[in-house]
């Protein structure tokens, strides 16, 4: 599984958090699949042009009005490479995480996050690179369920 840590940027509500590569649709994108491919190439240097598209997951939106009213459509691709990803200015770091790691004892569980003076209690995946939670957890958990 390819994960990134978003770069710290002022005004970015998701700064520094673990996420999947991806981003906003652009006028040059034929569709949202093209957006996913372009954003992945830009953010981590992974070319998904010939990568098989396994499918799209359910659309997601933030659960709080404190975040922008966006809709995220996750796409899942299969790649045969495990080359170390390159990063751009939007991405602080990137890793390939073995799927088995997400299934380990104590990996999924309660977490707390403090930002802008607010304490958030939720659930997440406690990984060696940090805690994956929020919308990324809401994408990952159902996908792992499909893989079981």
| CATH number for the domain that contains residue 76 | 3.90.79.10
Tokens standing for residue 83: 């080359």
What backbone torsions phi and psi does residue 18 show, to the nearest 5 degrees?
Answer: -75, 145
CA distance 62 to 99: 25
Query: What domain range is 9 assigned to?
Result: 2-147
Count of structural domains, the chain: 1
CA distance 44 to 86: 5
- Convert the pLDDT of each residue in 35-52 to its tens digit: 999 999 999 999 999 999
CA distance 29 to 34: 6
pLDDT of residue 128: 95
- Residues in the chain, pLDDT under 70: 12, 14, 65-67, 115-116
The reported pTM is 0.88
What backbone torsions phi and psi does residue 110 show, to the nearest 5 degrees?
Answer: -60, 150
For residues 40 and 46, the answer to whether their CB atoms sit within 8 Å is yes
112 membership: H or E segment, kind and range: strand 108-115
Length reported for the chain:
148
């Amino acid at each position: 599984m390819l994960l990134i840590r978003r770069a710290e940027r002022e005004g970015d509500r998701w700064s520094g958090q673990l996420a999947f590569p991806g981003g906003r649709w652009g006028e040059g994108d034929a569709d949202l699949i093209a957006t996913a491919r372009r954003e992945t190439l830009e953010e981590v240097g992974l070319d998904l042009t010939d990568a098989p598209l396994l499918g799209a997951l359910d659309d997601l939106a933030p659960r709080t009005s404190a975040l922008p009213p966006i809709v995220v459509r996750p796409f899942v691709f299969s790649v045969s490479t495990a080359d170390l990803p390159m990063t751009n200015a939007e991405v602080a770091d990137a890793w390939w995480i073995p799927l088995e790691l997400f299934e380990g004892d104590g990996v999924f569980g309660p977490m707390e996050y403090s930002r802008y003076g607010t304490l958030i209690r939720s659930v997440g995946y406690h990984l060696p690179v940090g805690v994956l939670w929020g919308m990324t957890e809401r994408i990952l958990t159902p996908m792992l369920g499909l893989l079981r």
